[in-house]
């Protein structure tokens, strides 16, 4: 099969022929890829930001946002059958450790994250995953149309669910979404579906702000140096109960802090920058900084329900798998609004 392979940090991946994956374990599932999303994390992986965290052996296949059809299953798999259209939760999990038993799939003690660490990803003809990772699509849903839900969508709904269950999204609360790209435009839709807070979206380009508005943002604010003053004005001088930072680099962490109100919570979903906050400010304002890492299997299932109900939709642009570097160029230069989806020729 064809696969997008990273050979050297700092250099673009290449599309080349590799062996198809084989079933080796009783709970293995092989998925014929219908669509593999391109994520800013892929850029960060190429740059080497994940080198010391993932400790993966090069070369390997990128792609952690996948959807397709079940192609083969191990002997103990009974929740999906060959031919089923599925979306793939990004982690392969053991199901037996304390975190798995509590539903926290992303913290599985033996977790593997194909395309990030531990196994080849899905920018390829086929992906090997596990029975615990696949969710059947509702009738009529095409894999390529929902692939981006597997990571961008999941990473967006997860902090929104956490905030909703914590009681932060009450009527009258002001929440800020920094960014309006692949993840954030899903986050905004999730905020409107799962909570009752007023949503302020902040982004740099007019195109992004338009996407934020069409995604349901109540207010949009251009990030042009006046955004702090504008947001304080929109919130009656108090600032925001919650900040969802889908950018977390290029100054976002710094100005985002300025609009976080007393007792507020700052979710970090994007990355690249460094949180630098004096301990006295944590104490005097009693604020929280909470990291967010993909999400749970049940959250992905809920997101797919919202999608099937038409309440969360995706803006995507498709590319042939072979054109992965064109997609990367578009993403890197801000020409990609919504999410880029790579489609293998056999899909």
Residue list 40-99, contact with a second copy (CB under 8 A): 44, 49-50, 53, 74-76, 79, 94-96, 98-99
Q: Minimum Å distance from CB 92 to a second copy?
A: 13
Find, among 299, 176, 294, 308, the residue nearest to 245 by Cα. Answer: 176
Q: For 132, what's the count of Cα atoms within 13 Å in the CB-facing half-sphere?
A: 20
Among 38, 156, 231, 303, which residue interacts with a second copy (rule: CB under 8 A)?
303
Find, among 53, 175, 48, 67, the residue nearest to 121 by Cα. Answer: 67
Nearer to a second copy, 44 or 317 (CB): 44
Q: CA-to-CA distance for 208 and 219, rounded, in angstroms? A: 13
Query: What phi, psi does 185 have (nearest 5°)?
Result: -70, -25
Q: Minimum Å distance from CB 202 to a second copy?
A: 17
Site residue total, a second copy (CB under 8 A): 77
Q: Which of residues 179-208 bind a second copy (CB under 8 A)?
A: 193-196
Q: Is the peptide bond prior to 202 cis by the omega test (within 30 degrees of 0)? A: no
Q: Minimum Å distance from CB 320 to a second copy?
A: 30
Nearer to a second copy, 58 or 284 (CB): 284
Whole-angstrom distance between the N-terminal and C-terminal Cα of the chain? 12
Residues 342, 117, 190, CA angle at the centre, nearest 5°?
Answer: 60
Q: CA-to-CA distance for 308 and 310, rounded, in angstroms? A: 5
Q: Which of residues 317-346 bind a second copy (CB under 8 A)?
A: none
Nearer to a second copy, 123 or 304 (CB): 304
Quickly count: other Cβ atoms within 10 Å of residue 273's Cβ. Answer: 17
Q: Which of residues 163-182 bind a second copy (CB under 8 A)?
A: 164-165, 167, 170-172
Among 126, 257, 297, 319, which residue interacts with a second copy (rule: CB under 8 A)?
297
Task: Choose the binding region for a second copy from 24-32, 118-126, 180-188, 320-328 (rule: CB under 8 A).
Answer: 24-32
What is the torsional sign of CA 67, 70, 72, 77? positive
Q: Does 129 bind a second copy (CB under 8 A)?
A: no
Among 8, 16, 26, 47, which residue interacts with a second copy (rule: CB under 8 A)?
26
SS3 60: strand
User: Which residue bears the tokens 């793939």?
Assistant: 88
Q: Which of residues 106-125 bind a second copy (CB under 8 A)?
A: 106-107
Task: Choose the binding region for a second copy from 31-39, 303-311, 317-325, 330-338 (rule: CB under 8 A).
Answer: 303-311
Q: Which of residues 232-291 bind a second copy (CB under 8 A)?
A: 245, 248-249, 253, 262-263, 268-291
Q: Minimum Å distance from CB 108 to a second copy?
A: 10
Among 293, 317, 318, 322, which residue interacts with a second copy (rule: CB under 8 A)?
293
SS3 148: helix
Q: Which of residues 136-165 bind a second copy (CB under 8 A)?
A: 164-165
Among 292, 331, 341, 344, which residue interacts with a second copy (rule: CB under 8 A)?
292
User: How far from the centroid of its chain's Cα atoms is residue 194's Cα?
Assistant: 18
Q: Minimum Å distance from CB 305 to a second copy?
A: 4
Among 16, 226, 233, 309, which residue interacts with a second copy (rule: CB under 8 A)?
309
Q: For 319, what's the count of Cα atoms within 13 Å in the CB-facing half-sphere?
A: 21
Q: How far is CA 135 from CA 55, 208, 247, 319, in A?
A: 28, 30, 28, 24
Nearer to a second copy, 133 or 347 (CB): 133
Q: Minimum Å distance from CB 183 to a second copy?
A: 12
Which element (helix H / strand E) includes 209?
helix 206-215
Q: Minimum Å distance from CB 54 to a second copy?
A: 9
Q: Minimum Å distance from CB 235 to a second copy?
A: 14
Q: CA-to-CA distance for 285 and 260, rounded, in angstroms? A: 9
Q: CA-to-CA distance for 60 and 13, rounded, in angstroms? A: 9
């Amino acid at each position: 099969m064809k696969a997008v392979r990273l050979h050297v940090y700092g250099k673009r991946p290449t599309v080349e022929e590799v062996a198809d994956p084989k079933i080796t374990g009783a709970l293995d599932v092989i998925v014929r890829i219908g669509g593999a999303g391109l994520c800013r994390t892929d850029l960060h992986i190429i740059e080497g930001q994940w080198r010391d965290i993932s400790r993966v052996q090069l070369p390997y296949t990128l792609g952690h946002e996948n959807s397709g059809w079940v192609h083969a299953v191990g002997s103990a798999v009974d929740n999906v059958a060959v031919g089923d259209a599925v979306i793939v939760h990004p982690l392969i999990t053991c199901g037996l450790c304390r975190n798995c038993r509590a539903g926290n799939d992303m913290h599985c003690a033996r977790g593997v994250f194909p395309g990030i660490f531990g196994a080849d990803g899905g920018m390829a003809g086929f992906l090997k995953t596990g029975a615990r990772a696949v969710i059947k699509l509702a009738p009529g849903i095409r894999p390529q149309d929902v692939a981006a839900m597997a990571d961008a969508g999941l990473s967006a709904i997860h902090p929104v669910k956490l905030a909703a269950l914590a009681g932060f999204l009450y009527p009258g609360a002001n929440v800020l979404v920094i960014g309006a790209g692949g993840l954030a435009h899903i986050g905004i839709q999730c905020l409107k579906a799962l909570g009752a807070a007023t949503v302020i979206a902040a982004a740099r380009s007019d195109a992004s702000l338009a996407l934020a508005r069409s995604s349901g943002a109540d207010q949009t604010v251009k990030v042009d140096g006046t955004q702090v003053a504008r947001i304080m004005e929109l919130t009656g001088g108090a600032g925001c109960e919650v900040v969802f930072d889908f950018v977390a680099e290029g100054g976002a962490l710094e100005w985002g802090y300025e609009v976080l109100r007393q007792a507020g919570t700052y979710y970090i979903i994007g990355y690249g920058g460094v949180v630098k906050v004096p301990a006295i400010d944590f104490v005097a304002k009693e604020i929280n900084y909470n990291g967010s890492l993909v999400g749970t299997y049940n959250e992905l299932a809920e997101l797919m329900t919202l999608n099937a109900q038409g309440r969360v939709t995706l803006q995507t642009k498709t590319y042939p798998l072979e054109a992965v570097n064109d997609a990367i160029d578009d993403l890197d230069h801000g020409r990609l609004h919504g999410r880029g989806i790579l489609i293998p020729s056999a899909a």
